[in-house]
Amino acid sequence: MASHVTFTKVGSVVVWGDDSGGQIRDAPKTKDIEEVVPGGNRQSLVIHKDRSLTLWGGQNIPTPVPFLSASVPAKTGQPVTRTRYLDAAIGLEHMVAIKEDDRSLVFSGQYFGSTPSESAANTPPGGGFIAVAAGGGQDIAIREDGSLHQWGTDAAAVLKIEPPKGSFIKVRARSGYLLALSANNVLFGWGGVFNDPLDPDLWGPPWQSDGLGHWFHPGPFIDMDAGPNQHDYKKNPNDPNDPTITMPHVLGLYDSGVVEGWGANNSGETETQHGDFQAVAAGKAYSLGLLKSGFLHQWGSELPAALRSGPDRPPRSLMPKGGGFISISAAVGHAVALRLSPQFVTGPDIRERTLRQPSLETQVHREVDHELSDAVRIRGAAVAD
């Protein structure tokens, strides 16, 4: 019996940027992760192959998280439950998940500026949900028929605007505003910066109003994301008389593979990126893209260094090199990427099965092994400190 390498659709996370809340040092070390959940403040969330969840980092979300059962380990960075979840999301001070069995919503924590009792009471009952996103004081979910349902604290102004009608495939929630991508690849935004006429210099055509409180861009888009509000944004940073305003930045990935951005752009985070992208993520003043080749591309501001730099210790603020990535997430000051893990299997006809493996996979596997070894070495040095 011999062994060879094949690729599965699970992997391990690579984290870089801010580590002030344990975003890097407390990241899960397992290789069975299937999805990284978008967004986060100083925390991150992943979904494992068995559809359990792991939450880690510095957060205001209660630990242990009440809805994740009494089996929550005391040590952070470990799987927090064995309940199966279809989807999950993290906001500023809360998280929401969809149970796989009845597709109902479960809630933990509280909305920003609200009380726990109000937050829990406003979570919609019943099932039939398939995707969810969490913001500051408001959440949004997609039902099985593709329609949208939004809820949150009673003070959330965005909830006074009814969500757009139609069938939707993806949603995002940030403090004060919501985004949704329709089944026909149109991007909608409402609340926050979308409450007023959009600055044509920062947004411009073809963004347009539907007259119902929403702005939309016809795309066609296959992915999108929204960064947190930049409260000190200046349209003309070199002008001392230019007032600071609150504005986020939004990314849209066209079906052509090109990424375009709108909104706050002090660091170049909305500059158009020409490439063959398959996913995008927006953090605070920075953007992250995943190419179809499995490589990463980051633009905008630099993330803060998490470790001292040196000849044998590169700063972990740098985006990881190499390929093999399948999923990305951009939080406020740190980013998370999911990298494929090789799986060793055995079989009697090893020669024939090995020959069927594309040579590119073997090359990427060697590169991934090298990168993972470096990551383990760096983490070990950090622990030693």
For every residue of 221-236, DSSP letters joined together read EEEEEEPPPEEEE-SS
Domain count, the chain: 1
Q: pLDDT, tens digit, for every residue of 21-72?
A: 888 888 999 999 999 999 888 889 999 999 988 888 876 666 556 555 434 4
Residue 301: per-residue pLDDT = 87
Residue owning tokens 């006074």: 160
The CATH number linked to 281 is 2.130.10.30
Range of the domain at 327: 2-384
CB 288 within 8 A of CB 264: no
- pTM summary value: 0.81
Q: How confident is the model at residue 169 (pLDDT cuts 50, 70, 90)?
A: very high
CA neighbours closer than 13 Å in the CB half-sphere of residue 319 = 21
Residue 258 or 19, more confident? 258
- Contacts of residue 42, defined as CB under 8 A and 6 or more positions apart, other chains included, come to 18, 20, 21, 23, 57, 58, 59, 331, 332, 333, 334
Residue 59: per-residue pLDDT = 61
Q: How confident is the model at residue 334 (pLDDT cuts 50, 70, 90)?
A: very high
